[in-house]
């Protein structure tokens, strides 16, 4: 069973790597703070899961029950957890266009510092008391996480009623469902971990939720910002667009074939020209339009289709 769990871990981290990569590319293009905060959250979430997963195998395979006996491991874990306490409300506020004022900074900043301070409290004790203090510290951090999830559910419901943007509403609804499901799971893990210490630690649901979160992130980004929504037709390319970018009739034909997903070789066969000639035309098209990607090119050429930039700003501004 534990090896199947290991496969789940590998799959979840694969989607995590994909999501972080796409988010970083998206941030480099648009420089939007809500995306930056989300990247920091995913990185911190990844770190806490890595530590949890290592601990699971340390206990279940190596049978070492001296849980988190290193102050440096506990410090790193609590630092990452504390970062989540601050960054999750921050990116929720930013995305929902709710002011993150001085009071919010003080409250969530204090929770971040409190999480770090909890690391050092056990070292005022010795022996069994130290172990109990460490467990108490973990209880407190999990309890704070539960409170923050409830808070995010509350402001998401508030934000849902304030936005009219369809894409934004879809994201808010997803996080509402995600947090609503994660809340009871976190409660269950909280109860199980701290009431059945004599048993092998249960499977953490964190990786499953991490997998779902990253999978949806990859699907959303790919579907909205890297995959063209519609093919270009002859009628959709206006003369004004051709004059604006100084495109030739042959380059217009090439763009239409690009939108259909044809390869260079297929384009050459379709037009009865050499593959090298097709590549030269494509190079000239990108130079003239200053397009940075296939979807960017299609959005610039398509008449009446919203551009990638406007679509992004509508959702994330």
Q: What distance in Å separates the CA atoms of residue 173 and residue 171, rounded to the nearest whole number?
A: 5
Given a contact cutoff of 8 angstroms between Cβ atoms, the answer to whether 60 and 201 are in contact is yes
Q: Say whether both 247 and 211 belong to one domain.
A: no
pLDDT of residue 8: 78
Q: How is 176-234 classified by DSSP, letter by letter?
A: HHHHHHHHHHHHHHHHHHTT-TTSPPPPPSHHHHHHHHHHHHHHHHIIIIIS-SS---T
Q: Say whether both 24 and 119 belong to one domain.
A: yes
DSSP code of residue 306 = P
Q: What distance in Å separates the CA atoms of residue 34 and residue 23, rounded to the nearest whole number?
A: 11
pLDDT of residue 66: 53
Give the CATH number, domain containing residue 217.
Answer: 1.20.1070
DSSP-H helix ranges across the chain: 2-30, 33-60, 71-95, 102-120, 127-160, 166-193, 206-221, 239-245, 249-259, 264-271, 275-289, 294-301, 308-316
Residue 234 lies in a domain: no
Residue 231 lies in a domain: no
Q: Say whether both 151 and 13 belong to one domain.
A: yes
| Domain termination residue (choose one: 191, 226, 261) | 226
Average pLDDT per consecutive 10 residues, the chain (317 residues; last block may be shorter): 72 93 88 91 92 73 58 86 94 91 95 91 80 80 90 93 81 92 79 50 72 92 65 63 85 86 89 92 90 75 55 67
Residue 167 lies in a domain: yes
pLDDT of residue 138: 80
Q: Say whether both 44 and 178 belong to one domain.
A: yes
Residue range of the domain that includes 114: 2-226
Q: How many domains does the chain have?
A: 2
Q: What distance in Å separates the CA atoms of residue 217 and residue 21, rounded to the nearest whole number?
A: 11
| Domain termination residue (choose one: 164, 192, 226) | 226
Q: Say whether both 91 and 163 belong to one domain.
A: yes
Q: What is the pTM of this model?
A: 0.71
Q: Say whether both 129 and 245 belong to one domain.
A: no
Q: What distance in Å separates the CA atoms of residue 59 and residue 155, rounded to the nearest whole number?
A: 38
Q: How far is CA 262 from the centre of its chain?
A: 31
pLDDT of residue 200: 44
Given a contact cutoff of 8 angstroms between Cβ atoms, the answer to whether 121 and 137 are in contact is yes
Q: Say whether both 157 and 246 belong to one domain.
A: no
- Show Cβ contacts of residue 233 under 8 Å, excluding neighbours closer than 6 positions: 256
Phi and psi angles of residue 305, each rounded to the nearest 5 degrees, phi first: -90, 140
pLDDT of residue 208: 87
Residue 307 lies in a domain: yes
Region class of 31: left (phi > 0), else alpha (psi between -120 and 50), else beta: left
pLDDT of residue 197: 45
| Domain termination residue (choose one: 226, 256, 284) | 226
């Amino acid at each position: 069973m534990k090896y199947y769990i290991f496969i789940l871990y590998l799959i979840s981290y694969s989607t995590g790597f994909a999501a972080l990569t796409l988010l970083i590319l998206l941030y480099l293009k648009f420089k939007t703070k809500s995306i930056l905060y989300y990247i920091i959250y995913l990185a911190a979430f990844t770190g806490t899961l890595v530590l949890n997963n290592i601990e699971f195998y340390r206990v279940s395979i190596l049978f070492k029950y001296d849980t988190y006996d290193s102050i440096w491991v506990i410090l790193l874990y609590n630092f990452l957890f504390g970062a989540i306490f601050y960054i999750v409300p921050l990116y929720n506020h930013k995305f929902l266009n709710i002011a993150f004022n001085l009071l919010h900074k003080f409250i969530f900043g204090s929770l971040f510092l409190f999480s770090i301070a909890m690391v050092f409290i056990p070292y005022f004790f010795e022996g069994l008391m130290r172990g109990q203090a460490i467990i108490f510290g973990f209880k407190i951090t999990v309890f704070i996480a539960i409170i923050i999830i409830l808070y995010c559910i509350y402001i998401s419901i508030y934000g849902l009623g304030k936005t009219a943007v369809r894409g934004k509403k879809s994201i808010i609804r997803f996080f509402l469902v995600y947090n609503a499901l994660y809340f009871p799971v976190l409660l269950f893990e909280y109860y199980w971990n701290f009431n059945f210490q004599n048993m092998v630690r249960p499977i953490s649901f964190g990786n499953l939720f991490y997998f779902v979160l990253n999978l949806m992130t990859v699907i959303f980004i790919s579907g909205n910002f890297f995959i063209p929504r519609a093919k270009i037709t002859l009628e959709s390319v206006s003369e004004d667009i051709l004059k604006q970018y100084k495109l030739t009739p042959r380059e217009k034909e090439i763009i239409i074939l690009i939108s259909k997903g044809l390869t260079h070789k297929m384009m050459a066969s379709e037009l009865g020209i050499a593959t090298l000639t097709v590549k030269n035309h494509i190079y000239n098209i990108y130079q003239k339009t200053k397009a940075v990607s296939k979807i960017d090119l299609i959005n610039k050429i398509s008449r009446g289709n919203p551009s990638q930039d406007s679509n992004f700003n509508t959702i994330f501004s």
